[in-house]
Amino acid sequence: MSDSTDAEPLSDKSKPGPSAKVPEGKSPDSKPHDGRSHDWAGSRRLLRLLRDLMKERGSSQMKLDKIVKLIAQDIVAEVCSIYVLRSGDVLELFATMGLKPEAVHQTRLHVEEGIVGQVAALALPLALSDAQKHPNFAYRPETGEENYQSLLGVPIQRAGRVIGVLAVQNVTPRNYTDEEVEALETVAMLLAELFAGGEIALLDETAAGDDGQGKPMRLDGLALNDGLAIGQAVPHTRGIVISQVIADDPEEERERLVTAVAEMRGAIDDLLARADIAELGEHREILEVYRMFAEDKGWIGRIDEAILSGLTAEAAVEKIQVDTRTRMAKVKDPYLKERLSDLEDLGNRLLHHLLELDGTGPQDLPDDMVLIARNLGPAELLDYDATRLRAVVLEEGSPTAHVVIMARALNIPIIGRCRDIVTSARPGDRIVVDADNEQVLLRPNEEVQATFASTIAERDRRKEIFAATRDLPPVTLDGLRIALNINAGLLIDIPHLHDSGADGIGLYRTEIAFMVRDTFPGVTAQTELYSRVVEQADGKPVVFRTLDVGGDKVLPYWQGEVDENPAMGWRAIRIGLDRPAVLRQQIRALLRASQGGELRIMFPMISDVAEFETARALLDREIEREGVKGRTLPSMVKAGVMLEVPSLYWQLPALLDKVDFVSVGSNDLFQFHFAADRGNPRLVRRYDVLAPGFLKLLHGIASQASAKQVALSLCGDMAAHPLEAMALLGCGFESLSMPAPSVAPVKTMIRSLNLAPLKTLLPSWLELPDHSLRDRLRSYAKEQGVEL
Q: Which candidate in 402, 496, 673, 699 is catalytic?
A: 402
Give pLDDT tens digits for 351-404: 878 887 655 444 467 889 999 988 887 667 877 888 889 999 998 887 767 788
Secondary structure of 486-547 as H, E, C letters:
EEECCHHHHHHHHHCCCCEEEEEECHHHHHCCCCCCCHHHHHHHHHHHHHHHCCCCEEEECC
Give pLDDT tens digits for 438-492: 889 999 988 888 888 888 888 888 777 777 788 899 999 999 999 999 998 877 7
Give the count of beta carbons closer than 10 Å to the beta carbon of residue 444. Answer: 20
| Regions of the chain with pLDDT less than 50 | 1-31, 34-38, 40-41, 203-213, 360-363
- C-alpha triplet 365, 373, 517: angle, nearest 5°: 110
Q: Is 173 exposed, middle or buried (0-12, 13-18, 19+ CB in 10 A)?
A: middle
pLDDT at 10: 34
Our measurement of the distance from residue 207's CA atom to the centroid of its chain's CA atoms, rounded to an integer in Å, reads 32
Q: Distance between CA atoms of 224 and 761, rounded to whole angstroms?
A: 35
Closest residue by Cα to residue 723 from 688, 757, 696: 688
3-state helix, strand, coil in the chain (%, to 5): 45, 15, 40
Q: Name the β-bridge partners of 152.
A: 127, 168
Within 508-656, residue ranges assigned H as helices are 511-515, 523-537, 573-578, 580-593, 609-628, 652-656
> Annotated catalytic, 236?
no
3-state secondary structure at position 127:
strand
Work out whether strand 430-434 and strand 228-235 pair parallel, antiparallel, or are unpaired.
antiparallel
Q: Which candidate in 236, 283, 353, 715 is catalytic?
A: 715
Backbone torsions φ then ψ of 784, nearest 5 degrees: -90, 0
The DSSP secondary structure of 191-223, one letter per residue, reads HHHHHHHTSSPPPP-PPTTSTTT---EEEE-EE
Q: Which helix (H) or strand (E) holds 391?
A: strand 389-394
> Annotated catalytic, 418?
no
Give the count of beta carbons closer than 10 Å to the beta carbon of residue 710. Answer: 18
Q: Distance between CA atoms of 130 and 6, rounded to whole angstroms?
A: 9
pLDDT at 535: 93
Q: Distance between CA atoms of 313 and 355, rounded to whole angstroms?
A: 10
Q: Distance between CA atoms of 719 and 735, rounded to whole angstroms?
A: 10
User: For residues 426 and 214, is the Cβ–Cβ distance under 8 A?
Assistant: yes
User: For residues 506 and 713, is the Cβ–Cβ distance under 8 A?
Assistant: yes
